[in-house]
Amino acid sequence: MINQIWKHFQRPECGWDPVPEEYAERYAKREFSALDIALVDEVAAWAGGLNGKTLLDLGGGPGQYAIEFARRGARVHWHDISENYLKVYQREAGIGKLTTASTLGYMDDATGEYDVVFNRVCWYYCVSDGAFARKVVSLVRPGGAGYLIINTDRYLENAWQRMPPLQRLKQKLFYALNDRFSLKVGHIMPSHRKIERLFRAMPLQSLETGYRGEMTMVRFRR
Ligand SMILES: C[S@@+](CC[C@H](N)C(=O)[O-])C[C@H]1O[C@@H](n2cnc3c(N)ncnc32)[C@H](O)[C@@H]1O
């Protein structure tokens, strides 16, 4: 509810961008050089190959994964809220002479149906975990594949340890409110268990969940 109200006022189409240009460039530099090729291989294998497939990179950021998927023959659609990331993505894709499709907007409002939907380390920006899980599945065409890397409680345990006590207390309170009562205030990360429960409740052909380092991995076929 509170997140929904913020979303109403913070509109990317009116020039609102949560990511400063300087931060976008810094993140891009770091992430392009740290691209996880093993993850790209896993997504490709799970999708049964990428060549000719339509792929949505939801919350694609600077586009390091979108670009690698496109290099492997996917018809990539990048969707993100940040115009500053869009500029980086278009510049980098242009260097590789890749055709790009892109839309600016909230992940929660993405539309279309794709052979593959990819979402990496931005789940916590969604307005509501339950609605977003349903949205992600709806974006995959029947028979298509979803692949998600999500920050959850294993990631949070480490983050909490680095926080000053008062901030930690506040974060834990918001975490519990979201996890137990689905009252989400701000960009709170969900628990691994909640993510599993949300996807298990949906009619999917197959579903696998697990950990990838300190992140939760979810992959499914619709
Ligand atoms: C940590 S970055 C991850 C970017 C990219 N997926 C990656 O793997 O590096 C989080 C991304 O989420 C985007 N983002 C934040 N809030 C969003 C929202 N409500 N809807 C769409 N994208 C959002 C940011 O602009 C940023 O690109």
Mutation pick for ligand 1 pocket among 4, 87, 125 (CB with most ligand atoms within 8 Å) = 125
Report whether pLDDT(91) > 90: yes
Report whether pLDDT(165) > 80: yes
What's the whole-number mean pLDDT along residues 16-39? 97
* Ligand 1 pocket, residue 31 CB under 6 Å: yes
* Ligand 1 pocket, residue 39 CB under 6 Å: no
Q: How confident is the model at residue 122 (pLDDT cuts 50, 70, 90)?
A: very high
Q: How confident is the model at residue 99 (pLDDT cuts 50, 70, 90)?
A: confident
Mutation pick for ligand 1 pocket among 11, 81, 90, 184 (CB with most ligand atoms within 8 Å) = 81
Query: Is the CATH number 1.25.40.10 carried by domain 2-221?
Result: no
**pTM of this structure:** 0.97
Mutation pick for ligand 1 pocket among 55, 65, 80, 150 (CB with most ligand atoms within 8 Å) = 80
Q: Where are the alpha helices (DSSP H) in the chain?
A: 2-9, 21-33, 37-46, 64-71, 83-95, 129-138, 153-161, 165-181, 192-200
Secondary structure of residue 71 in the 3-state scheme: helix
What's the whole-number mean pLDDT along residues 115-134? 98
* Ligand 1 pocket, residue 43 CB under 6 Å: no
Helix (H) or strand (E) holding 101: strand 101-104
**Please, what is the end-to-end C-alpha distance for the chain in angstroms?**
29
Alpha-carbon distances, residue 13 vs 5, 7, 25, 106, 119 (angstroms): 16, 12, 21, 10, 22
Cβ within 8 Å of residue 56, ≥6 positions away = 76, 77, 79, 110, 112, 114, 116, 117, 118, 139
Q: Which residues pair with 116 in a beta bridge?
A: 55, 145
Secondary structure of residue 212 in the 3-state scheme: strand
Report whether pLDDT(9) > 90: no
* Ligand 1 pocket, residue 127 CB under 6 Å: no
* Ligand 1 atom nearest to 7, measured from its CA: 19
* Ligand 1 pocket, residue 66 CB under 6 Å: no
Structure tokens at 56: 């949505």
- Per-domain residue ranges of the chain: 2-221
* Ligand 1 atom nearest to 65, measured from its CA: 8
Report whether pLDDT(85) > 80: yes
Structure tokens at 213: 């380092």
